[in-house]
Amino acid sequence: MEDQIDQSKQEMDHLMDGSRSIIFGKYEMGRLLGQGTFAKVYYSRDIKNSESVAIKVINKDHVKREGMMEQIIREISIMRLVRHPNIVEIKEVMATKQKIFVVMEYVKGGELFAKVANGKLKEDVARKYFQQLISAVDFCHSRGVFHRDLKPENLLLDENENLKVSDFGLSALSEQLRSDGLLHTQCGTPAYVAPEVLRKKGYDGAKSDIWSCGVILYVLLAGFLPFKHDNLMKMYRKVFKGEYEFPPWFSPEAKKLISKLLVADPEKRITISAVTKIPWFIKEFSRSSSFSSIEENNTDQKQESKEPSLGNRSKSAPPFYNAFEFISAMSSGFDLSSLFEGKKKSGSLFTSKCSASTIMSKLESLAKKVNFQIVSAKEFKVKMQGTSNGRKGKLSVMAEVFEVAPEVTIVEFSKSAGDTLEYKKFCEEDVRPSLKDIVWTWQGENKGHD
């Protein structure tokens, strides 16, 4: 592994001197697309399939000095969580001792802002972008993610003129809510930020995102901002009061929708669910069927492809877990791919010193305790299903027991069906507390093995 690090460092040095560079034996680095305070983004090409990608190269030392590592990790985690046709896709994350490489979908159509800068859009074009924006934001909210910096500069267009939400650097996860159930960090771009965010008194992330969507729709149709003034404080006062005027070319239906979005009182502001029922919005609207996270996309394939190597082992013994997979899954070292790559273990995995039969019994007890039905329990696999419908039907979970050594066993949970956020909540609130007496170490937690 150290050889790989040294090789990757040499590859990056090669990149910096301007010559052709292949990093990690997978990507050919190309021209610089842009750079910010902590990172540079390069156009790159996947050598295996010639697919164009964008690679964000982040300097670890710089990020650590500025105390921004947590924000970088959060942004990567969020992008991995929210995979949707209208959100820039994160493909994988790699790292050396000095740098983090975030491989993302290459969106070559530029910013939506560039289109608006040339003037207002036709209503049907603006509606299409707004529909795609709402679809993406609705999906983020279903995953407990609030963007908090929605604006045309963070909305990209692909070669087919489809919108892609980007820049999750200021996004918040639902676990960041304080005890009052609200977010308290003031962030975003003033012209697009909801009044409750500016007041610094705590706010609902979903409702503040809706306000930003309203400002964006206004800008797409008007070609300029609803709240604008040379004096920032005077602009704030307009925002606080929700004071703006409609240009004469706005249709009555568009005016009606915007007037429901740009409501200063967040409690009276329209919800996304209500927006999607408005006739103006649903005109020529086709909801994509691919609203899924990376974990969901991989689950079925993983279930079908996993064939335990039993060899001559008896059916009464659990399958042997490959030692390399075990080390990769439980490692929390410098290689971030074990944390973020979709093909790696999902985090619902632990080691135990208990026997396989004891663990199987405990899993069956867990199912009864949380009111899940046991669909099947054989060959060291337990499949359980919830009795109530969630966002995507009934949650179905598979727990599988593997033997690493005679005194070490691994238990891996995976989702067979249902909503990913509900599955994660099930793992945190039901699985962990119920199984704590048989757990030695959870994936990614650095406990001493004595």
Domain definitions of the chain by residue range: 2-105, 112-282, 294-442
Between the alpha carbon of residue 316 and those of residues 106, 313, 377, the distances in Å are: 49, 8, 13
Alpha helices in 17-156 (DSSP H): 60-65, 69-81, 112-117, 123-142
Annotated binding site: 56
Share of the chain above pLDDT 90, in %: 20
pLDDT higher than 50, residue 180: no
State the pLDDT at residue 356.
Answer: 82
Residue 293 has pLDDT above 80, yes or no: no
Query: What mean pLDDT is predicted for residues 210-239?
Result: 88
Cα 181–Cα 432–Cα 336 angle in degrees, nearest 5: 85
Tell me which CATH code domain 112-282 carries: 1.10.510.10
Kindly report the CATH class assigned to 2-105: alpha beta
Q: Pick the range with the lowest mean pLDDT from 98-102, 195-199, 205-209, 260-264.
A: 195-199
User: For residue 132, what pLDDT is reported?
Assistant: 94
Question: CATH 3.30.310.80: does it fit domain 294-442?
Answer: yes
pLDDT band for 246, please (50, 70, 90 cuts): very high
Rounded Cα–Cα distance for residues 114 and 108 (Å): 13
In sequence order, which residues have a C-beta less than 8 Å from that of residue 326 and are 6 or more positions away?
A: 404, 410
| 443 pLDDT above the threshold of 80 | no
Indicate which residues carry an active-site annotation. 149
Convert the pLDDT of each residue in 392-407 to its tens digit.
888 888 888 876 555 6
Residue 418 predicted with pLDDT over 50: yes
Binding residues for ATP: 56
Q: Which residues pair with 374 in a beta bridge?
A: 384
| Predicted confidence (pLDDT) at residue 14 exceeds the cutoff of 60 | no
